[in-house]
Amino acid sequence: MKKATIHDVAKKAGVSVTTVSRVLNNRGYISDEMKEKVMTAIKELNYIPNEIARSFFTNKTNFVGLIVPTTSNPFFGELTFHIEKKLSTKGYKLFICNSINDVETERVYLRLLQEKRVDGIIVGSHNVDIEEYEEYGMNIVSIDRELTENIPIVQCDNYDGGRIATGTLIDSGCKRILCISGDKRVKTTARARVSAYEDRMRKAGLEPEVMEISFSLSENDKKRVVMEDLFSESLPYDGIFAGDDVMASIVYHAALKKGYKVPEDLKIVGFDGTEMMRTVFPTLTTIIQPIEQIAAAAVELLVAQIGEKKAKKKIVLPITLHKGCTAQPS
């Protein structure tokens, strides 16, 4: 069946194509009677306006791009849900781009979003060395990642989260605490968690030790690294602060597989505290990021940019501690 065009709508409504365009784009004076004729014709013909074509008249597409590593990760899945929900209340639709932790894939998506004339982009990916964010001159808001000094950023209080996580393990009697973090080459605000861990350990007279496991590794590869590097011999640690809840879960199950008891032999604290993880792994002690508030703040900053309004350059939101059972005193 042939798709209806703007010319078909004009013919059926008995008006000019210009009048139909004005109704669609809400431009110029159009009488209520004329609007009703056009809207009736649109409904009867099931006409779907060309969003890209309309953007040339309005200079807006009402589309926003979101680039994340993968929505299969609980944090980014929940973040995407709340961003899409918040954008819809503002009249925007969302292009979701999974960069799959690949630099070239992210570059391809950036070019695609530019070609699609999106009104703005929200970025939460973990790739490095992508200069295009500075070059394209688009409306951009970053989540947990330092792109450039001119791009606004939304984050939780990562330092406070790292401080509380480490303090929880110390207060539970741990003396040999390992911090597992992502690749330090990636300029994410999550590095503040490591800084807080190191500061809190030294304050307690303990020696900090950090193990980097790249976020870009597959879950199977992360499991292999944990088994080979942490549990190949006797475990030298009595506490582990994991960079996210997925890693905390991997460590937890590896420990059980090797015959260790949690929290008797090993205490674990995670980070993120998504609704899904708190449902499937409620006993995990973890730092809860305010994901819904992070999403809302990112959307508000982006909408302000799109409207050429003054917006904050940085928003830091508070975290909370979920007291599970994995870090209880023995």
Locate the DSSP E strands across the chain.
63-68, 93-98, 120-123, 140-143, 153-156, 177-181, 209-212, 239-242, 267-272, 285-288, 314-317, 320-322
- Residue 323 in any domain: the answer is no
**Has residue 6 got a pLDDT over 90?**
no
Nearest to 258 by CA among 283, 286, 230: 230
Tell me what pLDDT residue 100 has: 81
Q: Are residues 285 and 295 in the same domain?
A: no
Residues 6+ apart with CB under 8 A from 163: 196, 197, 199, 200
The proportion of the chain whose per-residue pLDDT surpasses 90, expressed as a percent, equals 68
Tell me what pLDDT residue 140 has: 94
Tell me what pLDDT residue 179 has: 98
pLDDT band at 193 (very low <50, low <70, confident <90, very high): very high
- Residue 324 in any domain: the answer is no
- Residue 328 in any domain: the answer is no
- Residues 94-122 have pLDDT tens digits of 999 999 878 899 999 999 999 888 999 99
The CATH number linked to 33 is 1.10.260.40
Q: Are residues 220 and 244 in the same domain?
A: yes
Q: Are residues 144 and 163 in the same domain?
A: no
Q: Are residues 142 and 193 in the same domain?
A: no
The CATH number linked to 116 is 3.40.50.2300
- Residue 218 in any domain: the answer is yes
Q: Are residues 166 and 269 in the same domain?
A: yes
Tell me what pLDDT residue 83 has: 98
- Residue 330 in any domain: the answer is no
pLDDT band at 125 (very low <50, low <70, confident <90, very high): confident
**Has residue 307 got a pLDDT over 60?**
yes
Tell me what pLDDT residue 57 has: 52
d(CA 191, CA 245): 16
Please give the angle made by the CA atoms of 154, 157 and 159, to the nearest 5 degrees.
130
**Has residue 314 got a pLDDT over 80?**
yes
**Has residue 90 got a pLDDT over 70?**
yes
- How many CA atoms lie less than 13 Å away from 328 in the CB half-sphere? 11
Q: Are residues 70 and 54 in the same domain?
A: no
Name residue, tokens 């699609």.
116
The whole-number average pLDDT for the span 42-62 is 72
Residue 45's domain comprises 6-58
- Residues 259-306 have pLDDT tens digits of 999 999 999 999 999 999 999 999 999 999 999 999 999 999 999 999
Q: Are residues 162 and 272 in the same domain?
A: yes
In three-state secondary structure terms, 11 is helix
- Residue 208 in any domain: the answer is yes
- Residues 223-272 have pLDDT tens digits of 999 999 999 888 999 999 999 999 999 999 999 999 999 999 999 999 99
Q: Are residues 209 and 270 in the same domain?
A: yes
pTM attached to this predicted model: 0.85
Tell me what pLDDT residue 129 has: 65
Q: Are residues 33 and 127 in the same domain?
A: no
Q: Are residues 295 and 285 in the same domain?
A: no
The total of structural domains in the chain comes to 3
- Residue 1 in any domain: the answer is no
- Residue 329 in any domain: the answer is no
Tell me what pLDDT residue 130 has: 72
The whole-number average pLDDT for the span 301-313 is 92
pLDDT band at 150 (very low <50, low <70, confident <90, very high): confident
Compare 34 and 237 and report the one with higher pLDDT. 237
Q: Are residues 226 and 269 in the same domain?
A: yes
User: Do 41 and 32 meet the contact criterion of CB atoms below 8 Å apart?
Assistant: no
Q: Are residues 112 and 210 in the same domain?
A: no
pLDDT band at 22 (very low <50, low <70, confident <90, very high): confident
